[in-house]
């Protein structure tokens, strides 16, 4: 039988395992656009459960599964993270009111999770992590009929998951063409394997430090490190470092140089060999130190830094960081009573886009988008902080819609509606369509239709080498996409934006909005606007917006 402690350790082990391999899972994503990749989303989602469980002492399997399910749901990021949370939510329902569980109970619980996940996805696609979860459950259920031992059953679940994963390329031709298996399915297998390690051997897979490796030392690092231990207290103003190329005719010992430097400063380090002398000293008279060095040969390198000025700037930066941290803490959203009739929450990243959505009437703009999908909890907090009886959520990203939809059952004191906007232009069109004089339902319908009538162009870069839709893509290529589909690659974001926008403009186009990102200058954006205007003529209004968004050089709205 599996008790609560064992399940808790198993989930923590699964979380550690996916954290260990999340980059490998991320790289299975077919489309090379930099986004909130599957491995990262699944890892961050289950990590939320691991944090909660690490502080839970209950030995009841019901308590543990419920705590995990709640944390997973609130921490869910991206579609893969939401599906993972739904699997565990069903799992917790199957283990409700139990202190321990046998193999059949584990399999049945997983089956409830699979049902919940399939129902949550509007158009379930086979060849994804849904397939992997379903086949794993079916294998587990069959195994339980033979042997009710939890280890035997979970072993069958893992085997079923791996078997299903291997079939995903046959079920989804796009996977087969790319020569990869489904990323979400792979992530699920890794989590199940991490759990198996505890069920079978009682071993929690440790969480590995994913920090970047320390760079190899470069020329001179030893010397700088030797001197660094002295750089704590500032008695003298100038940190002086230099290298002297030794004159072979000068036989004076470098110890005499060291002795002199100690009379004019502190933190003295003198290192020498047959060819050079390296010197570090803190002094008020760097010129005198250099003159002393010249007595031994020619100066090869010299560096003099004002440490007091550096310390002053560092102190200012530290105070600024503290102020920003305090401001961020003060900005924590507080729940608000629903006093108004309707309010709006949108998701966007970039100062310009935040301001734009706020100006259009959004009470809160949750920071997120590509590469940084917000969690269900992030969106939930923004909803509760919106003082309205009906709160409309605009996800503005296809990978955030499912997370937004999970907020609906979590809120009980107000109505929550998700308009499934898949892009920033769709979200903006929806907000522009809102009319305060119209009834609520009519407004929601009108906003939904407005979002559907917008064509979205995006100019970004390839995060990895790939071949997609017959187009060979190299890492760093500029990608031009129309409504989520890759249409061409380029080497210049400005040229790509001009080409993409011109191809999107039709005879009946009335409005064009060019939203430029943080890596595009105002001059570059204006160049795009001029070229687009020459193509569109005077029948289309063109608006230029500094969105400040990362990842996307340009986001283009055509109506």
Q: Assess whether pLDDT exceeds 60 at residue 218.
A: no
Task: Return d(Cα 214, Cα 458) in angstroms, integer.
Answer: 36
- Edge to edge, the sheet with strand 415-418 lists 364-367, 340-348, 388-394, 415-418
Q: Which pLDDT score is estimated for 14?
A: 95
| pLDDT tens digits for range 135-190 | 999 999 999 999 999 999 999 999 999 999 999 999 988 888 778 899 999 999 99
Task: Return d(Cα 415, Cα 341) in angstroms, integer.
Answer: 10
Query: Which of 112, 111, 175 has the alpha carbon at shortest distance from 138?
Result: 111
Q: How confident is the model at residue 32 (pLDDT cuts 50, 70, 90)?
A: low
How many helices (H) and strands (E) the chain has is answered by 20, 18
Contact 391, 404 (CB under 8 A): no
Q: Which pLDDT score is estimated for 210?
A: 46
Q: How confident is the model at residue 230 (pLDDT cuts 50, 70, 90)?
A: very low
Q: How confident is the model at residue 68 (pLDDT cuts 50, 70, 90)?
A: very high
| pLDDT tens digits for range 494-504 | 999 999 998 99
| pLDDT tens digits for range 453-505 | 999 999 998 877 777 667 788 888 899 999 988 889 899 999 999 999 989 98
Task: Return d(Cα 98, Cα 24) in angstroms, integer.
Answer: 36
Contact 252, 295 (CB under 8 A): yes
Task: Return d(Cα 541, Cα 508) in angstroms, integer.
Answer: 12
Q: Assess whether pLDDT exceeds 70 at residue 365.
A: yes
Query: Which of 39, 42, 34 has the alpha carbon at shortest distance from 552?
Result: 34
Contact 299, 243 (CB under 8 A): yes
Pairing between strand 511-516 and 541-546? parallel
Contact 274, 345 (CB under 8 A): no
Contacts of 254 (CB under 8 A, 6+ apart): 270, 272, 277, 296
Helix or strand (DSSP H, E) at 134: helix 129-146
Q: Which pLDDT score is estimated for 266?
A: 84
CA 404 to chain centre: 17
Query: Which of 25, 35, 31 has the alpha carbon at shortest distance from 397?
Result: 35
What DSSP state is assigned to residue 295?
A: T
Q: Which pLDDT score is estimated for 212?
A: 39
Q: Judge residue 317's burial from the number of C-beta atoms within 10 Å of its C-beta, 0-12 exposed, 13-18 middle, 19 or more buried.
A: exposed
Q: How confident is the model at residue 193 (pLDDT cuts 50, 70, 90)?
A: very high
Structure tokens at 25: 């899972």
Overall pTM > 0.85: no
Contact 165, 134 (CB under 8 A): no
| pLDDT tens digits for range 493-537 | 999 999 999 899 888 888 999 999 999 999 999 999 998 888 777
Task: Return d(Cα 554, Cα 521) in angstroms, integer.
Answer: 11
Q: Which pLDDT score is estimated for 268?
A: 82
Residues written for the chain = 559
| pLDDT tens digits for range 234-278 | 678 888 989 999 988 888 888 899 899 989 988 887 887 778 888
Contacts of 158 (CB under 8 A, 6+ apart): 136, 189, 192, 193, 196
Q: How confident is the model at residue 413 (pLDDT cuts 50, 70, 90)?
A: very high
| pLDDT tens digits for range 45-59 | 999 999 999 998 888
Q: Judge residue 506's burial from the number of C-beta atoms within 10 Å of its C-beta, 0-12 exposed, 13-18 middle, 19 or more buried.
A: exposed
Contact 359, 383 (CB under 8 A): no
Q: Residue 268: what are its φ and ψ, rounded to 5°?
A: -85, 130
Contacts of 389 (CB under 8 A, 6+ apart): 338, 339, 340, 341, 342, 414, 415
Task: Return d(Cα 114, Cα 83) in angstroms, integer.
Answer: 9
| pLDDT tens digits for range 239-251 | 898 999 998 888 8
Dihedral sign computed on CA atoms, order 225, 226, 232, 238: negative
Q: Which pLDDT score is estimated for 317?
A: 67
Q: Count Cα neighbours of 544 within 13 Å in the Cβ-side half-sphere.
A: 15
Q: Which pLDDT score is estimated for 319?
A: 60
Contacts of 196 (CB under 8 A, 6+ apart): 10, 154, 155, 158
Task: Return d(Cα 122, Cα 494) in angstroms, integer.
Answer: 37
Strand-pair partners of 375 = 77
| pLDDT tens digits for range 93-123 | 999 999 999 999 999 999 999 999 998 887 8
Q: Which pLDDT score is estimated for 220?
A: 43
Contact 303, 280 (CB under 8 A): no
Q: Count Cα neighbours of 349 within 13 Å in the Cβ-side half-sphere.
A: 18
Q: Rg of the chain's alpha carbons, rounded to an integer?
A: 30
Question: pLDDT exceeding 70 applies to what percent of the chain?
Answer: 90
Q: Assess whether pLDDT exceeds 80 at residue 295.
A: yes
Task: Return d(Cα 286, Cα 264) in angstroms, integer.
Answer: 9
Query: Which of 388, 393, 389, 353 has the alpha carbon at shortest distance from 370?
Result: 353
CA angle 326, 327, 331 (to 5 degrees): 115
Task: Return d(Cα 410, Cα 415) in angstroms, integer.
Answer: 10
Q: Which pLDDT score is estimated for 163?
A: 96
Average pLDDT, the chain: 87
């Amino acid at each position: 039988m599996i008790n609560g402690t064992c399940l808790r350790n198993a989930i923590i082990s699964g979380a550690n395992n996916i954290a260990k391999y999340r980059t490998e899972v991320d790289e299975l994503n077919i489309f090379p656009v930099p986004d909130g990749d599957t491995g990262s989303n699944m890892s961050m989602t289950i990590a939320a459960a691991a944090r909660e469980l690490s502080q839970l002492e209950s030995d009841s399997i019901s308590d543990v599964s419920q705590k995990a399910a709640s944390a997973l749901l609130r921490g869910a990021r991206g579609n893969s993270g939401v599906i993972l949370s739904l699997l565990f939510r069903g799992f917790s329902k199957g283990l409700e009111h139990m202190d321990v569980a046998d193999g059949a109970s584990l399999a049945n619980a997983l089956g409830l999770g699979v049902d919940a996940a399939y129902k949550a996805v509007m158009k379930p696609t086979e060849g994804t992590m849904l397939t992997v979860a379903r086949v794993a459950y079916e294998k587990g259920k069959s195994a339980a009929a033979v042997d009710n031992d939890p280890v035997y059953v979970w072993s069958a679940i893992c085997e079923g998951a791996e078997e299903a994963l291997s079939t995903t390329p046959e079920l989804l031709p796009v996977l087969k063409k790319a020569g990869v298996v489904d990323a979400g399915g792979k992530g699920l297998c890794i989590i199940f394997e991490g759990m198996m390690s505890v069920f079978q051997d009682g071993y929690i897979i440790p969480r590995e430090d994913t920090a970047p490796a320390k760079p190899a030392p470069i020329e001179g690092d030893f010397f700088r490190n030797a001197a660094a231990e002295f750089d704590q207290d500032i008695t003298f103003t100038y940190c002086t470092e230099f290298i002297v190329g030794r004159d072979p005719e000068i036989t004076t010992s470098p110890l005499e140089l060291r002795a002199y430097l100690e009379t004019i400063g502190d933190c003295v380090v003198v290192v020498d060999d047959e060819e050079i002398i390296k010197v570090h000293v803190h002094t008020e008279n760097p010129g005198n130190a250099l003159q002393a060095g010249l007595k031994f040969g020619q100066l090869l390198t010299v560096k003099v830094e004002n440490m007091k000025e550096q310390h002053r700037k560092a102190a200012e930066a530290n105070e600024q960081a503290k102020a920003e941290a305090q401001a961020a803490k003060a900005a924590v959203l507080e729940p608000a009573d629903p006093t108004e009739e309707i309010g709006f929450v949108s998701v966007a990243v970039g100062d310009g886009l935040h301001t734009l959505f706020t100006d259009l009437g959004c009470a809160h703009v949750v920071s997120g988008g590509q590469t940084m999908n917000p969690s269900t909890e992030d969106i939930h907090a923004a909803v509760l902080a919106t003082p309205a009886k009906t709160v409309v959520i605009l996800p503005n990203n296809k990978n955030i819609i499912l997370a937004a939809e999970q907020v609906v059952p979590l809120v009980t004191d107000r109505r929550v509606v998700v308009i499934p906007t898949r892009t920033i232009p769709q979200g903006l069109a929806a907000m522009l369509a809102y009319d305060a004089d119209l009834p609520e339902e009519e407004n929601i319908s009108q906003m939904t239709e407005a979002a559907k009538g917008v064509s979205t162009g995006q100019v970004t870069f390839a995060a990895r080498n790939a071949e997609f839709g017959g187009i060979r893509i190299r890492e760093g290529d500029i990608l031009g996409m129309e409504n989520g589909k890759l249409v061409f690659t380029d080497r210049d974001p400005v040229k790509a934006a001009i080409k993409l926008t011109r191809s999107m403009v039709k005879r009946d186009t009335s409005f064009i909005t060019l939203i430029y990102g943080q890596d595009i200058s105002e001059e570059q954006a204006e160049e795009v606007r001029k070229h687009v205007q020459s193509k569109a003529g005077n029948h289309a209004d063109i608006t230029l917006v500094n969105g400040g968004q990362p990842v996307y050089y340009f986001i283009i709205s055509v109506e």
